[in-house]
Structure 1
């Protein structure tokens, strides 16, 4: 049986994060799992916002501390949208920061952003065959 994907995002303000992801991407509250966990639905996988104060240890055995300034990680979220300009407008209005303009590719368009908690994310609008355009027919 294949694994099930759940997305977890550490944030320092769970109410602000819930508002951001709802306003920016149209996600809806699934349920609150206590005061420190919010489940959001409407993406391809459930997204769990986890209240983790800045400065706390990232995990047992790690010296790294949580920092919600803009940071880079090799794992990020891509939100596939039908209208990238409209989606970008909603994300910026909700508090995202644009990191460069919308870029065009054979497969579609992409915009790189950061959420208000320092996490990178992208908006993708596929055209034609989408990523299949990268594979020779």
Structure 2
């Protein structure tokens, strides 16, 4: 099985800069004027141009809004140096929503990208998630 990650954004070039500068992803392909494939992680991330205010649901009852929003799905980016990655993300427009915390097996920073998508930076320490397993 294969899966893809798609992120709606209202500014493709700003999104390419953010995900390239912060996570070291690179442009794989440009798909017309409406999408960019970003490579360099375990699965491609597709940045999809969707105008703010456009219909977010088939019935048009909800519109896209790029202010901070909540969704039960988010990305975790595993990094080697969470302090450096957090600083790089903030420099490129991310918001640090919860300072870095150390927990059993990992450090975690809760963040939002410039398009309102929540994400986490995660650095494994010790035995990583194995420290949580029974």
* Same fold, judged at TM 0.5 (above): yes
Query: CA-atom RMSD, angstroms?
Result: 0.9
Distance 1:62 1:122 in 2: 30
SS of the residue 1:65 aligns to: coil
Deviations 1:47-67 (A, max 9, x none): 000000011111323511100
- Where in structure 1 do 4 or more consecutive aligned residues deviate above 3 Å? none
SS of the residue 2:88 aligns to: helix
Structure 2 equivalent of residue 45 of structure 1: 43
Distance 1:123 1:29 in 2: 21
Structure 1 equivalent of residue 133 of structure 2: 135
- Give the unaligned 5+ runs of structure 1: none
SS of the residue 1:102 aligns to: strand
1:105 and 2:103 aligned: yes
Query: Residues 1-137 of structure 1: matches in 2 within 5 Å?
Result: 3-136=1-134
Deviations 1:30-56 (A, max 9, x none): 110111100001111100000000111
Distance 2:105 2:62 in 1: 37
SS of the residue 1:22 aligns to: helix
SS of the residue 2:21 aligns to: helix
Count of aligned positions: 134
Question: What is the TM-score when the length of structure 1 is the normalising length?
Answer: 0.94
Distance 1:42 1:132 in 2: 26
